[in-house]
Chains A and B, each alone.
Chain A
Amino acid sequence: MANAPVEFDQRKLFDQSNPLLKATLTNILSFSNDVAGGLGTLLEFLKVLKIFLQSIKDPIALILLPAIDQLIDAIEDLKNIGFGTLTVWPWEAGQLESGIDTTKAQESLRALIVALNDVNPEQLRWNQKTNEFQSIENLGDRDQLKQQTGMSFNFSAYSNISLEGDNVIVAKSLDDTWVNDTLNTIYNYINPKEWEEGDNSAKRIINSLNESFKFRTLTPSQFVSTVNSSFDDPNDPQKPVGSGDYVAFVGFFAFPTHHALRDMINALLKFFSNFLDNVTDLVDDKVSDIELGHPLVISGLETELKIATNEAQNDVDNEITDAGLDIKDAQDEQDEAGADVNVQSVEMDRIQNIIEDARSKASTYADQITRHRDRITELEKELLSLPDTVSTQQDIARESNLLSIAQQNLREQTIVMREYARQYGNESVKAKNLGGVFDEKVEKLKQLEAKKSALEEKRENTNLDTTVLKKKFYTLDNTTKRDLSKLDPQREYVFRNSGPDSNIGVATGTSVIIPMFKEGDLIQQGHVFNDYTAEVVKHVEIRVKGNQIISNKVKVRKPRGSIKENTSPAEGDINVPPIISLDGKQLDTFGGLKVGSGIQGSRDALNFPMFAPKNPDVPNTSPGVKFIATINSGDVKLQNVLPFSSSEKLNNSIYENTSTINKPAFQLMMENFVESLTVGTPIVHNFFVSSSLSETEIPVNPWKRLAWTAFPGMGVMPCIKSVKIDGKEIKKQDIKTQLFKQVKKTKSSKDIEYESMKKITIEVGRMANNGDIEDYPSQFIRVPQSTVLNENLQVPITAYKMEGSASQLPNWKFTRIQDLFPIYGKVLDRIVDKLEYAKDLASGKLDDFDKTIQWFEDTVRDLKKLNEEIQELLLFLASGLDKTGFYTASFSGNDGVNGFKSKLSNAKIKNKNTEPIREFALEPVVVNRIGGDGQEVQAEVLRLVPQEPDENAPTEELLSWSDLDSLKYSGGFVFYAQGNDTKLLDKFLLTSGLKKVEDKENPQAQITQDSDATGDAGTTGTDLAEVTSLLENIQPEVDKIEIEQTGFINDDVFIQANGAETVRKDTQIKITFKNQQGLLTDDEKQTIKNAKGNDFIFDTDMQYGSIFPCTTTDASIGNVILSKDNFETATPLNYSVQPIKRTITINDQEEEIIDSIIIKPQNDLEGLTTYKLKVKTSILSTTNQRLKEEFTTSIGFRIAATTVLDIGLE
C-alpha cells in the first residue's frame, strides 16, 4: 500500500480533551507516583510531570519526553546496582564426612588383637614410631628399681625400655607376621576400592553405608569462619578490603537433615535463581581440583636400589673417570706451557697414548652418528612426499644400521677412554710425581675410590627382599622426597602422564620420570584409618623448577574427608601421611602380605605414585595489567592513567580523539582496563623505590614463600588505594558512562556519541597486615627530574595478580540486581524498550500513517507481552522467601572488614521456641499384671510420662553460632558494600524486599525485667508488658470511609460514604485509618521510644501492601470487600491500592506516612443500588499491628441513576 502523503497532526491525534487520554495520563501520574514510592528515585520526575500537566498543549510530547528520560535513567540505574556478594554453599565449602566411624573400627581392631594374641588389653599399645602393636610391661618406679637392682635405667642400651612418668616400661613387639596379617585383612576391608568391587554382601553394605554419607556438611560456625576467611583469601582479587563505612546483609540457613537442606535450596532457587549456578543435585559427584606437593618415595628405597643395582657404583665410576681425565688434561696443559714437568712413568705414557687414540676415534664416531642421524631425518621427510617409499625405507634401514654401529663404536671408545683415565689417575697417584696443583684432584680421586668400595660393601649387606619394605608400605609414613636433583635447576619442567593409562610422568628435556596418578586411581591419605580418599579424574601436570614443585594439580571426584596439610619446613620430611594410589599395580609384587621380591619389586615400588600434601596456601603473584601514568616525585597520585600496549602507544591526545573514543572496541578495552584496576592490587615500578616485589625476588622455596602469606602485608608493598575518574571515586556500575563524556543529545539524536574521555587517577597506598590500605610514604616515589609524563614513561607500571595454589575458599564476586533476579532485569529491559518507543512517538518521528499504524501495532503486541512477563514476575514476587530455618540480618558499621568480621562472629541467632517440644520422663507407674499364679497383682514399672510444659520457659532465646553445631546442613550468602557502594546496597536491599523500608537496623529493644528500675525509663530499660500495653493505643482502626462527591468530575473531593445518595457510578472509595496516640502521655511515649527506638512513628502509618481488595465475586477473599447484597457476594475491586502520602516531621527528619488509601471498583457500579464496604482486621500498620476491629459501613452508599453522561451521548 502506498504511503498516503498526509499531514500528520499529532496534536489532533492526542487531543487533550479526549477522556480516555486523560484517564491514561492520570494513570501515568499514579504509576510514576508508585514507582517513586517504591524505588525512591523518581520524585523529580513527578515534579516535572506535575508542572507540565498544568500547562499542557501537546500533552504527550511535553510530558513524556522529560519524564521518560528520567524514568529510563532511574530504571537503568536500578538494574545496574551491584555490590560484593559471597555465597557459601555446603556443597562447595562443606566437607564430606569420612564414610565410616573409624574410632569404632579402631576399637574393634584392638579388641581383636587382644583376643587373638591373648594379651591384657591394658597392656596393649600402638607404637607410633614403629607402627606396630606392642605389649608392654610396667617394671615399676624408677627410683625403687634403682634401689633394688642398682641399675640407673638411663636406657641408652635398651631401646625397648622407656620411661613413662617415673615408671619404667618394657615394650615387646607382637609377632610380626601375625600383626601384619591382621592389619592386612582390616586394611583390605576398609579400602574403598574393595567395597566398590564388593563381592560379598558385607562389603556391599559397607559401600552403600558409605555412599549415604555423600552429602557435604557445613555447620553454622563453619559458615561464619568460611565467610571471615574469605576476606583474607590471598587468591581472591575481588574480595572487599579496608576500613570505613560498610553495609552488609547476611542470610544463612541451618538444618539438621539433608532433606530440609534440599527443601531450602529449592526455595532459594526460586527466589535468587542466579545464585545457584553450581547446584550439583546435591549428590556429590562434581569434579574438583586438588593441589599436591613434592613426589615421594619410600624412605631409603631410592638409594638402596641404586646400590643394589650397581647404579650408584656406576655413578661413582663415572666420577672417578672424570677425575682421572681432569688430571690428565691438567697435565697436558702444563706440558704445552713447557712447564718443568715431573717425570712420567712409561706406563703413564702408554695410557696417555691409548686415551688420545680413543678420544680421536670417539670424535670420528660422533661425527658419523650426526651424519647418519641427519640422513635418516632427511629420508623420513622424503618418505612423506615420495610416491615410491620402498627404496627410501630401505635407505632408512641401512642408515639406521650404520647409526647403531657408530653408536656401539662410540660407546666402546668412551669406555676405553674412561677406564684408561682411571688408570692414569691411579698411576699418577702411584708415581706421586704431581705438583701441588694436582694434590686436590688426587685427593678427590682417592675419596671416590673409597666411596666406591663402601658402596660395594653396602651392596653386599643390602637386603631389599622382605621385612624392611613391608612395614614401610603398611604405614607409608616413612617417606622421603623423590630425588629431582638431575633436573636443570634453571629450567621449568612440566611432567605429564606418558599415556592415557600410564602411571609414568615424563617431561621433555629430561630422562627423569615422576610416577603420577592415572585416571580412575583411588587415592588416599592416611593408612588403615584414612583421612582422605578420592577418585582421580586426571592428574593434570606437575611443574618443577629449581628442584621445587611449582604446581601439582589433580582433578578428582568423590572426595571424602579432607587432606591434612603438611606444615613441616620445606627441607624436612613431611609430618603427615602422604597421598598414595590405593590400587597401584607397582605394589602387587609385594604379594598378599606386601612382601618385597627383590630388585624388580623395589623398582616397581619406585614407580609407585605418592605425594606430599601441599603446604598451606601460598599466594603466587604473576604480572597482570600494565599501564602508564604521569608520575611526580613525592606524589602518591598517578595522573592520566592509560593502559599500556606495546603495539599501539596511547598518548595524551587520546582524551579528545573522538574518532577513537567512539569506537566500540576502544570503549570496551578501556572498560576492561578500568575493571581490572582493583583496589588492593599490588603495583610495581622502579620509581616506587621501596618496592620489594619483583619476579626475581619471589623466593622459589615454598617454605620461604610462605612468608608471602603475610604479603601484601609486608609493609612497603605499593598497591592501588583508590581509582578515580575525573576526580570522582569510581563506581562499579556502568563504567562507560563514568569514563566518557557524552555529546549533548538533541531531540533528533538517537545514538549516543562521546566527545571526550575523562582522566583516570590512581592513588598509591600500602596494604597493612589488618587488610587496611594505608597511605604510601610519598618519599618513596622518586622520579628522575622529578616528573615524567605518561607518554614518556618507558617502562610501564605493572599491576600484579594473585594466582597459583588453588584456595578452597569461595570467591567474592560483583553482582548486579539483574544478575540476581534475571526475570526482574528482563522486565525492566522491556519497560525501557517500551519507553524508548514512546519517546519516538512523542518526538514526532512517526510522520506518516503507515509508520504510525505500524507503531501502534508493535506497541500493542509488545505491551501484551510485557504484561505477561510482569504477571510472571508478580507471581514470583508474591511467593516471596519465607522458610523456617532461614535467618537474615542486615547491619552496618564504620570499621570496615574487621568490624564486619567481628560483628558476624559475635552475632546471635534468635530461636523462636513457639511450640516447645514436650518432654518426657521415666517415672514409676503402678500397673495391674497377671502374676505367675494367674492372679492379678499390682506391679511398679517405669513408663515414659509426658511432662507439663514449663509455663515460664522462654519462647525466644538468643543462641550463638556454636550452639547450632548440631545443624550440619547450613550455608548462606553475604552482600557486602563499602564506601560509595553502601548506598547502592541499601537501595538494593529495599527494592529487592530483603530489607523493609520501615525496618530499623537491628532494632534493639532495651527490654529488661529489672525489678529495681528507678522509674527513669531512659536509663534503666523498660518493662516489656508495659510497652505492649502502651502499644495498644497506637493499634490502627478504620476512621472513615468516603466516596467521591456527587456532581463533580475528578475533583478529588471525598465525602462520608455511609448514607450517601446519588453517588457516581465510577466513584473511588477512600479509607482513612486512625489510632489513639493522643491518649499517650509524653512519658508513655518515651517508654515506647526506649523500647522501639527514638524515631518511632506514633502517627497512623499503614503498610498499604497488606491491603488486599477483593477482586472477585467471592466475598471471602481479601480484606477489603465491596458488596451490594450484604456480603453474600462481592463486587470486584481493582487489585491496586493507591496510597495517600502525608509528610510528618520526627526528630527534625521528614518522614512520609500513609494513613489513607483509595481503592476502585473494577467496573462502573450499578445505578440505584446500595453498596456496603467491609474492612477486615488483617491489614497491618508499619508497626506490624493489625486493625483493632473489623469495620463495615452500616447503611452503605447508593448509586445515582444512569444519565446520558454515562453512556457517552453528551
Chain B
Amino acid sequence: MSDEIIFEENKIRNVQLENVLQKTLEFNKKYLEYLEIKLQELKQQRDELNG
C-alpha cells in the first residue's frame, strides 16, 4: 500500500518565506539608517561646496 495517497489536514504556513522577508526587512532598516546618514553627509558637503 506504499502507493496510497492520503489527504490530510495540514496547516499551510510559509515560515521560510516569512523568515526571508523578515531578514529583508531588517536589512532594509539597516540600509535605510545608513542611507539617511550618508544623505545628510552629502547634503552637508554640497552646502559647503556651494558656500
Contacts and interface: CB of A to CB of B under 8 A. Distances in A.
Contact of A1002 (B6, B9, B14, B50): B6
A867 B3 contact: no
A38 B15 CA distance: 9
Contact of B28 (A271, A852, A863, A887): A863
Given A6-B49, A993-B15, A23 B10 contact: no
B8 A889 contact: yes
A849 B18 contact: no
Contacts of A907: 4-7
Contact of A870 (B4, B25, B32): B25
B8 A853 contact: no
A906 interface: yes
Contacts of B31: 24, 27, 863
A1136 B19 CA distance: 7
Interface in B1-40: 1-39
B9 A912 contact: yes
A655 interface: no
Given A849-B46, A880-B11, A30 B27 contact: yes
A908 B5 contact: yes
A884 interface: yes
Chain A interface category by residue count? 35 or more
A859 B45 CA distance: 19
Contact of A881 (B12, B18, B35, B36): B12
Contact of B7 (A13, A889, A1134): A889
A1104 B19 CA distance: 9
Contacts of A1004: 1-2, 4, 6
A867 B37 contact: no
Interface stretch (A434-442, A570-578, A871-879): A871-879
Contacts of B37: 20
Given A852-B42, A874-B18, A30 B23 contact: yes
A20 B40 CA distance: 14
Contacts, number: 179
A666 interface: no
A1103 B43 CA distance: 46
B6 A867 contact: no
B6 A997 contact: no
A881 B24 contact: no
Interface in A830-888: 831, 849-850, 852-853, 856-857, 859-860, 863-864, 866-867, 870-871, 873-874, 877-878, 880-888
B14 A877 contact: yes
Interface string A36-59: 011100000000000000000000
A1105 B20 CA distance: 10
Highest count of chain A CB atoms <10 Å: which of B5, B10, B22, B37: B5
Given A4-B50, A889-B6, A1136 B12 contact: no
Contact of A860 (B7, B14, B19, B36): B36
A853 B42 contact: yes
Contacts of B6: 889, 907-910, 958, 1002, 1004
B26 to A, nearest CB: 6
A891 interface: yes
Contact of B34 (A24, A30, A888, A1104): A24
B46 to A, nearest CB: 5
B32 A864 contact: yes
Contact of B20 (A34, A882, A1137): A34
A870 B21 contact: yes
Contact of B46 (A24, A853, A903, A1104): A853
Given A38-B16, A38-B19, A31 B27 contact: yes
Nearest to A905: B5
Contacts of A871: 25
A797 B16 CA distance: 49
Given A24-B30, A882-B11, 5 more contacts: A849-B46, A877-B13, A877-B17, A907-B6, A908-B4
| The 8 nearest A-B residue pairs measured at CB | A993-B14, A1105-B15, A880-B13, A907-B5, A882-B11, A887-B7, A881-B12, A38-B20
20 contacts: A4-B49, A20-B33, A31-B23, A31-B26, A831-B24, A849-B42, A849-B46, A877-B21, A878-B18, A885-B9, A888-B10, A889-B6, A906-B5, A907-B5, A907-B6, A909-B6, A958-B6, A993-B16, A1006-B2, A1136-B19
Interface of A: 1-2, 4, 6, 13, 20-21, 23-24, 27-28, 30-31, 34-35, 37-39, 250, 252, 271, 827, 831, 849-850, 852-853, 856-857, 859-860, 863-864, 866-867, 870-871, 873-874, 877-878, 880-889, 891, 903-904, 906-910, 912, 958, 990-994, 997, 1002, 1004, 1006, 1103-1106, 1134-1137
